[in-house]
Chains A and B, each alone.
Chain A
Amino acid sequence: QVQLVESGGGVVQPGRSLRLSCAASGFTFNNYGMHWVRQAPGKGLEWMAVIWNDGGKKQYADSVTGRCTISRDNSKNTLHLEMNSLRADDTGVYYCARDLTVSGVLTFYLDSWGQGTLVTVSS
Chain B
Amino acid sequence: QSALTQPASVSGSPGEAITISCTGTTSDVGGYAYVSWYQHHPGKAPKLMIYDVSLRPSGVSNRFSGSKSGNTASLNISGLQPEDESDYYCASYSTRGTPYVFGTGTKVTVL
- Chain A residues close to B by CB (< 8 Å): 35, 37, 44-47, 50, 59-63, 95, 97, 100, 107-111, 113-116
Contacts and interface: CB of A to CB of B under 8 A. Distances in A.
Given A47-B91, A62-B1, A108-B93, A115 B99 contact: no
A47 B98 contact: yes
Contacts of B36: 108-110
Contacts of B17: none
Nearest to A45: B102
A59 B99 contact: yes
A95 B1 CA distance: 20
Given A45-B102, A108-B91, A115-B44, 18 more contacts: A44-B104, A45-B105, A47-B91, A47-B100, A50-B99, A50-B100, A59-B99, A61-B100, A63-B1, A97-B46, A100-B48, A100-B51, A107-B34, A108-B36, A109-B51, A111-B57, A113-B46, A115-B45
A111 B38 CA distance: 9
Give the residue among A45, A47, A60, A61 with the most B Cβ atoms within 10 A: A45
Give the residue among B3, B38, B40, B98 with the most A Cβ atoms within 10 A: B98
A93 to B, nearest CB: 9
B101 interface: yes
Interface string B25-61: 0000000001010101000111110011000010000
B3 A107 contact: no
A108 B38 contact: no
B64 interface: no
A44 B105 contact: yes
A61 B46 contact: no
A6 B102 CA distance: 21
A109 B47 CA distance: 11
